[in-house]
Amino acid sequence: MAGGSGVAEPASLSCASCGKPAHLQCPKCVQLKLPREAAAFCTQECFKASWNFHKPVHLKAKSSESGIDTPDNEGWLYCLKKGQTRTAKLPYFDWTGALRPYPISSKRIVPAHIDLPDWAADGIPKVEPNSDLQHVVEIKTVDQIERMRETCRIAREVLDAAASVIRPGITTDEIDLVVHEATIAAGGYPSPLNYNFFPKSCCTSVNEVICHGIPDARKLEDGDIVNVDVTVYYKGVHGDLNETYFVGNVDEESQRLVKSTYECLEKAISIVKPGMRFREVGEVINRHATMSGFSVVKSYCGHGIGELFHCAPNIPHYGRNKAVGVMKAGQTFSIEPMINAGVWRDRMWPDAWTAVTSDGKRSAQFEHTLLVTESGVEVLTARLPSSPKVFPWLNV
């Protein structure tokens, strides 16, 4: 803007639509005292033509009037009610450890060419909760298995991309952006996005967070541990895996926790074969975790997976569980033990997603999607030669 007065004359404003000199102001913007630059138009015709793009400006102003949004945080707000509500103030809670939620960024966009699961638009899974596959364990067809292999490989590559950017100073929101972009670049949809209103494209669970942590504005700190849980929807099927990473230099007890959790999953996978009872998985995990002086989370279990994100079988990770049934070739499911440094009990943050340890001590998790084969098991989300070498016990 030319001139040194600092007060813009009406004619010095240009049309928000076409750029020509503007002589009109949107009356709604004037009423809401919104910035004059975005409210200026040359003619009624231009104003009408740009209405669909201009209208959302008013909505944002309304949310800031009600105190839900503020102009200076650019839409970064704390998550409440599973993702259905946001708030500018840190919610009150009897926090169990040192970690706190941070504001989360606005919803990420998925391009039109990506095939969507049925919750993408409104947050509500429709097929999944009503399916027979919540009760009977599906035997996958050759075609389903081939698609599961492809999708699980993509999910692995997406998780590896996330792992490669982890360092002190990066926010979990930035990790989520990497997961989101990598998933879409591969032609997939990030299954967590809007699943029961989950607001982000992956779960990031730091320190005392057991699972389902929401990526937010908190910067990872030297000494943190962080689990990244990725699920990809591609060619009509889901692939699900997670790993827990070290941020900078981590204390020895946390290193022991993460390594023991990795071993729990390896030992559980080693018993998978046709005829094995699902309830044995928890026995193996419980034995190794307790032997190491750790405890096993009970509230979250492994699950069947395929065309549905979560279905039968339900696979507890703790001992003396009542899981029903035996494994059969052609079944696909996840095993994803969550192991705590202290007590097994979990509590829920006010966002209604983040599960934390009740004593505030740390928790670790690893997850794979598995296929039961005639001879044993195929780890569909197995590490690749290209996977980053981030676990010292895997480096020979």
Instruction: Answer for the pair 147, 239: CB distance below 8 angstroms, yes or no.
Output: no
- Out of 229, 263, 307, 346, point to the residue binding ligand MF3 (CB under 6 A): 229
Binding to ligand MF3 (CB under 6 A): which residues in 334-393?
Answer: 334, 336, 353, 367
Task: Tell me the sheet residues that pair with 295.
Answer: 340
229 near Co ion (CB under 5 A): yes
How many residues line the site for Co ion (CB under 5 A)?
A: 5
**Which residue's CB is nearer to Co ion, number 16 or number 179?**
179
Task: Tell me the sheet residues that pair with 12.
Answer: none
The full DSSP string for 80-143 is EGGGTEEESSPPP---SSS-----BPPPPP--TTSPPPTTTTTS--SHHHH-GGGTSPPPPPHH
Site string for Co ion, 335-374 (x = CB under 5 A): --------------------------------x-------
Exposure b/e, 261-273, CB count within 10 A at least 16 = b: bbbbbebbbeebb
The residue number whose beta carbon is nearest to ligand MF3 equals 192
Find out whether 283 is annotated in a ligand binding site. no
Find out whether 240 is annotated in a ligand binding site. yes
Instruction: Answer for the pair 227, 355: CB distance below 8 angstroms, yes or no.
Output: no
C-alpha–C-alpha distance, residues 367 and 202, integer Å? 14
Torsion of CA 171, 174, 180, 184, to 10 degrees: -160
Question: Of these partners, Co ion, ligand MF3, none, which one is at the site of residue 195 (CB under 5 to 8 Å by kind)?
Answer: ligand MF3
For residue 90, report the phi and psi dihedrals to the nearest 5 degrees.
-60, 125
- Comparing CA positions, the residue from 200, 193, 215, 203 lying closest to residue 122 is 193
Stretch that binds ligand MF3, among 34-42, 99-107, 194-202, 252-260 (CB under 6 A): 194-202
Question: Of these partners, ligand MF3, Co ion, none, which one is at the site of residue 198 (CB under 5 to 8 Å by kind)?
Answer: ligand MF3
231 near ligand MF3 (CB under 6 A): yes
Site string for ligand MF3, 56-85 (x = CB under 6 A): ------------------------------
34 near ligand MF3 (CB under 6 A): no
Task: Tell me the sheet residues that pair with 367.
Answer: 242
Annotated binding-site members for a protein: 212, 310
Q: Which residues are annotated as a binding site?
A: 212, 229, 240, 303, 310, 336, 367
Q: Which residues in this chain contact ligand MF3 in the complex, by CB under 6 A? A: 192, 195-196, 198, 203, 212, 229, 231, 240, 303, 334, 336, 353, 367
